[in-house]
Structure 1
Amino acid sequence: MPSSAFEAVEALVRLCPPPAAPTPPSATDWAAKEGELGFRLPDDYKRLCDAYGPGSFGDFIGIRHPLGATDWMSLTGPMATIVERQLEVDRAGGTLVPHDPRRLFAVGVTDNGQYLFWVTEPQDAPDRWRIVVHDARGPRWFSFDGGLVAFLAAVLGGRTRVPLFPDGLLDEGVCFTPSPELRPGDEPRIVTVTGTARHGRTLSTDALRVWARANGYELPPRGRIPLRVRTAWERAHPEG
């Protein structure tokens, strides 16, 4: 396993090259972002963001970024707080939550609705934080003994299988897809349904497939719907 954040990111870059013109490192004021969050961030995460910019891995795993295209995918946006509160409600109701929700920080989300968390312990040693994955549609959790970049490299390299992820995740190869630039007003909204905070406008998977095919997107009859298609639908329906 790489012994430093630099080596970890370099290993991921060899496996999954970043875009030719990623967001320049100077675009992110890390000290300001950490001050806004109230805690330091893992070095591997900062190097990852500088190397790749906002986007998703495997057209499936979206990573929150300081320059995320929407409030939901921005590192300092509302996702972490909303998910934390829902986990607290779930835990109080008897649902399995293996970690204190106050120690979980959502750093990513998949196309299928699984959340990636840092377990922020020890809080003053972010480079020791490990990753857990939670299926928001049920009580299943997956733990990885390592940081975010090591997790991405292990999953995309086929060395670690996350049971919550689709079996065909790597069938089309490994790639990084930059987030498309959104127009003003295209950002998904945060809505509340029966007391539970949920993200964005809702559309059934079948209906989304119908819309996608009608608009020129080729999709298989089953399996995950690529992030680019979901984003395109969001852009086409800014008013819900």
Structure 2
Amino acid sequence: MWDGVFAEFRRGFASSEAEIARAEAELGFRLPDSYRSFCEACGAGRTNDHFRIATPLPFEPADLVTRANLIALSVSEALRALRANPDFADQPIRFEIEGGDEAILDRACFFGEGEDGAFLFWDVQGTGEYDIWVMGADLESIRFGGETLVDFVRATQGAKIHTILGLAATPLPSRFDGIDEATLARAVRPD
């Protein structure tokens, strides 16, 4: 599935079936097939020099479940702080959501971060593949990213990036830079 997606490819530490199963049990849903194949074929790393896709790992700081919960908490706290700010008290906090479905945040499972501060999440309704969405770093915009992880990665490598990251965005390099096990382990247990 990932053959030909990246012009430059350096594999990272891959998720085991046991780690994927653990993440699914903790999150409460089956991970999308395109993402599962990414975890096994690509592993931990940075996609297109811009996105860190969290994968199920035995290293808690980089693990999908840890990252998903941390991002969700961060977004929630940022929204709470905005609501508590007297300068915004008379203004409802609204997201500019492509398609207008405000309930999308209730179904969100975060799984990645952009170098620009954007967050990637799945809309986990239904079964199988889940649509991928991008929450802008401004916490104001939510744009459709793709129907599968492969679709999303390819779209950000080409002209469709404008609909995902905005008009100022330029196509990202077709590159996957993996993170090996030793590097991940050092992040957990500094020498």
Q: Fold conserved (TM > 0.5)? A: yes
Q: Which moved more, 1:53-62 or 1:89-98?
A: 89-98
Change (3 A) 1:17 1:52: farther
Q: In structure 2, what is the Cα distance between the partners aligned to 1:133 and 1:159?
A: 13
Q: Provide the residue aligned with 2:118 in structure 1.
A: 114
**More helix as a share of residues:** 2
Q: Secondary structure at the match of 2:134?
A: strand
2:14, 2:44 within 8 Å by CA — same for their partners in 1?
Answer: no
Q: Which runs of 5+ in 1 are unaligned?
A: 1-8, 188-234
Q: Provide the residue aligned with 1:29 in structure 2.
A: 19
Aligned counterpart for 1:75 among listed residues 64, 76, 89:
64
Q: Which runs of 5+ in 2 are unaligned?
A: 84-90
Deviation at 1:165?
7.8
1:133, 1:143 within 8 Å by CA — same for their partners in 2?
Answer: yes
Q: Aligned residue pairs: how many? A: 172
Give TM-score scaled by structure 2 length.
0.72
1:68, 1:75 within 8 Å by CA — same for their partners in 2?
Answer: no
Give the alignment's Cα RMSD to 1 decimal. Answer: 3.2
Change (3 A) 1:145 1:57: closer
Letter in 2 for 1:56: R
Which residues in structure 2 correspond to 1:1-240 (within 5 Å)? 9-10=1-2, 13-16=3-6, 19=9, 21-24=11-14, 26=16, 28-67=18-57, 71=61, 73-77=62-66, 78-83=69-74, 85-86=76-77, 89=80, 94-97=92-95, 98=97, 99-100=102-103, 101-122=105-126, 125-127=127-129, 129-161=130-162, 162-164=164-166, 167-170=169-172, 173-179=173-179, 181-182=183-184, 184=186, 186=187
Deviations 1:145-167, CA, capped at 9 Å, x for gaps: 51222111222244443234853
Q: Secondary structure at the match of 2:144?
A: strand
Q: Secondary structure at the match of 1:15?
A: coil
Q: In structure 2, what is the Cα distance between the partners aligned to 1:166 and 1:61?
A: 17
Percent identical residues: 22
Q: Secondary structure at the match of 1:23?
A: coil
Letter in 1 for 2:65: T
